[in-house]
Every structure is written in C-alpha cells, then in structure tokens.
Chains A and B, each alone.
Chain A
Amino acid sequence: MTQSDPIFRLEGVTRRYGNLTALDGIDFVAEDNSYIALLGPSGSGKTSLLRVIAGFETPDKGRIWFQGRDITDLPAHERGIGFVFQNFALFPHLTIFENVAFGLRHGATKVPDAEITDRVRASIDMVGLSGLEDRNPDQISGGQKQRVALARSLVMQPKLVLLDEPLGALDANLRERMQTELRAIRERLDVTFLHVTGSETEALAMGDRVAVLDAGRIIQHGTPDSIYDSPAVSDVAQFLNRFNMFEGSLKDGMFHGAFGAVSVASARPNDTDVYAIRYDRTRIFDADASDLPGPALPVRYLASEYLGSSIIFLFETADHKTVEVDHHLSLGEPRDLTVGQNYVLSWDPAQAIVFGKESAR
C-alpha cells in the first residue's frame, strides 16, 4: 500500500434505528497515516458511524472498506481496528498490565509470553505510565485511564484507531494536555486516528482533516483552516459557534438584512439566505460613528463574558437577537462599554460569508 492509498472507505453507509436515520448514505475516504477529527452535534450520528466502522453495529446499506478489503460483514474481532471508548472501558478485574496485554493473550494469533511482556512494557512506556503496571483501573486517575485505554489499543499495532469522544470524560485542564499528547503519540506511529468529538475547538485543534457530520450526512470535509475560514453551508458555520448569522434575502447580488443592504461578491449554495460574520471580525463603534468599514447594525449592549484570553461582548439587536463580538486580548485592551447603551456594529464586508439560494456568480 502506498502512502496515498485510503486506509478506509465508506460507500453509501446507512444505518437506521426504527424510524430514525442515524447515518444517511455516508461516503467517505480517509488517507492513511493521518489524524481525522469527526465533528458533529449530539444526535448527528457520529458515534453510530464509529460503531459501524468498528463492527459493533452493521449498516443497513452500504459497504465499508478497510486496507483495500470489504469488511462490511466481518465481526468486530476480526477487523483489526482499535477503539478507545469515552468511558475508557478498562477491564476492572485486571491490572493495568493485564489490561494492555489482554488482546495479545486472548487474540486469534498466539503471542509468546516474552514478546507479550516486551510489547506491553513498551506500550505502557510510550503513554508514560511505567511503574503503574500492577495497579487496578480504579486506582488511577481519569487521565491515566485514558492512556491505558490508548496503550491497550496501540499494543495490537492497528492501522486505524477509532476514538469516541476520548477527552469527554476528562476535566478541562487535562483535556488540553491530552490533546497535545494524542497528536504526538499518533505522529510517532504509522496509524490513522479517527477521533469523534462534539467540541469544535477540539476538532479544529486536533485533526489534520476535519469532517463535519450533521443529521447523518457529512456536510463538509477538509483541513481545519478551510472549515473554519470557509464553512461550506450555513449549518457548518452555525455549528462552529463562531459566527453571527443573520437571516435575510439575497437578491441580485445584494443581501438585505437587519443591517441594511450590502453588496455581495459571491455566495455559497444553501437552502436559506444567511449572512455570516465571525465574532472576532465584528467590531464595535459608537452609535453616531461615521467611519464604518461596512454595514451598520444598531445594537444595545447587554453584558460581557470574560474568557481569560479574550472577552465576549453580548449585544441585542432591535428584533431581540443576540449578537456576539469577540475581542482577543493579544490585540490590546478593549474599549469600555456601558450596559444598556446603544452602539453600532460593523465589519469589513469582504470578511463576511454569504450563503444563499441564489448562489450563482
């Protein structure tokens, strides 16, 4: 297999639970040796997709290819795909060592004891848990459990590891550390990680590629930058939680919204007409300011939220829609605002993203 071959490929994978369609004809190709983040809101089908690839569930329709082989009808234990669970799913009755050794000991191919010991020790060492081999899973912390789960999968030398919200059960500080570590571990091994998450920051931070899943379909697939800077449809922008989105109408190259009419150079095809401007591209001006860079949106200041490295200012438009402005503190001190006072928001129209039914141009 050459470097550019896909490690796995999904063809029209569909999974239904009763009336609910969890996966709706998913086509997907994943490059070998990469970190793929699968981003989706809860209920988007992301966990179903992972479970179908792992073989815990079978698709109603479609085929799954892994390393050039159709594995759709193969049971989970014959697939050779690793899985890391959100709750870690460590074997509570076995020590850390035996947890990691489990697959080598009881798998289909017999591995000599000496080799098991070597591989398990190497694997435990790689995740930085040497010395804890004899502990039980209930005697280690959440972050350590996460590492054991990872070591247990990686010791089998899989070509693909599926991670189901692996950081979801960890607290915020630990989550950040594990992000860096997961990436570093993967880079050392020739393995593809498919990491499912509901957090857009996590997906953007971790994936070499990000796929956005919504209602059982992949609505965008690309590099983190491309997803963030140019969401393909308004749902992606919505889900990124970083855009003020305005409804309105797009006609003859003009978008009519709460901020007046703006001329639009290009628009992306979408079911509805939506005008989106990122929080950190939206700027605050006095109500009577005249030197605006673009459209003028009159607003009333409600409150601010301090995020440590940035401040979010919350405003309300005339039709009671909340609009957010993000000011990163590395750009200097923000201006002082008075609660209840009126201001005008504006932005450079070139930085806005417009979605519309009338997309041609």
Chain B
Amino acid sequence: MSAASTNRQKTNTFRLLAPGVVWMILFLVAPIMMIVYVSFWTQTTFAINSTLTLDSWRNFFASEAYVGALWTTIRLWLIVLTLTFVIGYPAALYVGLLVKSKTVSTVLLVLCVIPFWTSFLIRVLAWRPMLGKEGAINIILQKVGLIDTPIEVLLFSELSVIIGMTQIYVVFMVGPIAFMLGRIDRNIIEAARDLGAGFGRIFWKIIFPLSLPGVVVGAIFVSVMVLGEFATSGALSGRKVNLLGNIIVTQVGSLKWAMASVVGVILTILLGIVVAGFLRIVDLKREI
C-alpha cells in the first residue's frame, strides 16, 4: 500500500478511537489501578496515608465476617446464575424460536424488557410487599388454604435476596439467548427433521449448541451484576446477607478506604476469573 494513503487511514482510525480510549484509560483503568494501590495503604482511624503495608489484607483474611462475605457472594452468584438460566432458557426458547410470528416474538421481548424502565431500586423495593409476612404471596397462599401461618422466611432472608435477584436479572439471560435462537436459520432445523431427527435430538445437537454464545453472554451479564451487587441484598435481607459489595459500601461509609480497596481488589480478581472463564467458551467480539 502506498505510504501516503496508509498513513491517512491510520490517522483516521486513531482520531476516531483516541477520545474513547483515553476516556476509558483515565476513568476506568486508572481508577481500578488506584484501588489496587490504595489496598496497600496504611489506614488510621479517620485517614489513610500512602505508606505501603499489608495490614488491610491481613485484616481481611483474619476476619471471619469478611471471608464469610466472599463465600456468600460466590454462593449467591452460583445460585442466581443457575436459576436465571433454568428459568430463562425455556422462556427464551419460546420467544426466540417457537413463536413463528415476528410480531408476537417482538411483543413478548418488549414485555420482558419494559420493567427495566422503572428504577432499579424501586424494582427491588417492590419485593417487600410481595414477600413480607403480610405480603401478597402469604395472603394468597393463606386464602387458597395451602398454609395456616404466614411463611416468615420469605422476607429478610437469603431466599428473598435470591428471589429478588433472579427476577431482576433473569431478563439479561433471556435476551441474549432469545437473540441467538432467533438467528438460527429455520432451514437448518427443517434439514435436521428431514434427516429423521426428533425434537430431543434437534434440541441437544442443533438448537442448544447454536444458542450457547447467547447463554455465555447472558451468564456474563448476570455474573457481573450479581457479583457487584449490594442494593438488593441490603434492601431485602435486612442486613442478614452481606456480600462483598455491602462491605465496600460500609467501609467507604466509615471512611475505611484501604479495607474497601482490599475488598474491591478481591472482587475484581473474582470477576476476572469468572469472565475470562466464560470468554474461553465464546469469542464475544465475533458474535456481535
């Protein structure tokens, strides 16, 4: 390629990318580096200074509550991830593949997405009158006669956090899966039928493998959001469930920046492992 035009094209690409890249480096990468750095700072009661120390790290691993929060985060993440997948896949299958009319499929998808235009916090809060002792579920169950006394474990427990998170995040699983299923060429399924395959085989050999990128994208969405959560657990568990996010919020609230940073780094590492793991299954860039 002649030098002049190669350079012209390169400059062009550079100009288009520079603002975005600079923004991300300054306001995303640098802050994360900062968290790592500050996690080694020395914390005094009301201030921190940049003398490097491992104290905060030691404190984290010495505290049962903190390490417990790590395990709770991982446990809740796995449960919610599984639930969103198990509950979301059949819905996605219907919306993305089985509904023949494009309009119906679009309407159903829009229906699923509409709740997102209500404030996230209010969506969380809406579970309280639903799950509470005098909440809708207990009232209905009592009216039907399935139970005599209200189930108390529904609200302010790990269960309520799980229910709340599943409801809020399941759509992030349904969307990408339905999208991938919608992209499957119907002729491929007809070809498989034509070769004598029944639904079970078509599902496991054709449909599921082809929807896998959607599952992975959905799983990444859900994981990222659940692992960084603190509001849902705060609002629905009555402080009984502490996630890594909750600890960060509390520590920042009491100006314990170093400890907050330690938890932040641990959260970052956890996320890095999870996302990298999922990205090994599909190349995200190619799917878009």
Contact = CB atoms under 8 A, between A and B. Distances in A.
Do A's and B's CB atoms come within 8 Å in the complex? yes
Interface of A: 58-60, 72-73, 75
A72 B6 CA distance: 12
Contacts of B8: 75
B278 to A, nearest CB: 30
B281 interface: no
Closest 10 CB pairs of A and B: A58-B5, A58-B1, A73-B4, A58-B2, A60-B1, A73-B2, A72-B2, A73-B5, A59-B2, A59-B1
Interface string B1-34: 1101110100000000000000000000000000
Contacts of B4: 73
Nearest to B1: A58
A54 to B, nearest CB: 13
Contacts of A72: 2
Contacts of A58: 1-2, 5-6
Main DSSP-derived SS at the B contact region: helix
Nearest to A16: B1
Looking at A58, A60, A72, A73, the one whose CB has the most chain B CB atoms below 10 A away is A58
5 contacts: A58-B6, A60-B1, A73-B4, A73-B5, A75-B5
A60 B4 CA distance: 11
Interface range on chain B (Cβ under 8 Å from partner): under 10
A147 to B, nearest CB: 33
A75 B4 CA distance: 10
Contacts of A75: 5, 8
Nearest to B6: A58
Interface string B156-183: 0000000000000000000000000000
Contacts of B1: 58-60
Interface string B196-220: 0000000000000000000000000
Nearest to B9: A58
Interface in B118-134: none
A49 B176 CA distance: 41
A60 B5 CA distance: 10
Contacts of B5: 58, 73, 75
A75 B1 CA distance: 13
Given A58-B6, A75-B8, 10 more contacts: A58-B1, A58-B2, A59-B1, A59-B2, A60-B1, A60-B2, A72-B2, A73-B2, A73-B4, A75-B5
Contacts of B6: 58
B19 to A, nearest CB: 24
A232 B282 CA distance: 50
A193 to B, nearest CB: 26
B76 to A, nearest CB: 47
Nearest to A55: B5
Contacts of A60: 1-2
A15 B4 CA distance: 16
A19 to B, nearest CB: 15
A75 B2 CA distance: 12
A63 to B, nearest CB: 9
A59 B1 CA distance: 5
Contacts of A59: 1-2
Contacts of A73: 2, 4-5
A72 B5 CA distance: 10
A92 B162 CA distance: 49
Nearest to B5: A58
A73 B6 CA distance: 10
A58 B4 CA distance: 10
A58 B273 CA distance: 43
Contacts of B2: 58-60, 72-73
A73 B8 CA distance: 11
A262 to B, nearest CB: 50
Interface string B74-85: 000000000000
A60 B1 CA distance: 3
B267 to A, nearest CB: 41
A76 to B, nearest CB: 10
A72 B2 CA distance: 8
A269 B4 CA distance: 41
Nearest to A74: B5
Nearest to B8: A75
A58 B8 CA distance: 11
A354 to B, nearest CB: 42
B187 to A, nearest CB: 22
A75 B6 CA distance: 12
A223 to B, nearest CB: 34
A335 B20 CA distance: 75
A78 B251 CA distance: 63
A310 to B, nearest CB: 35
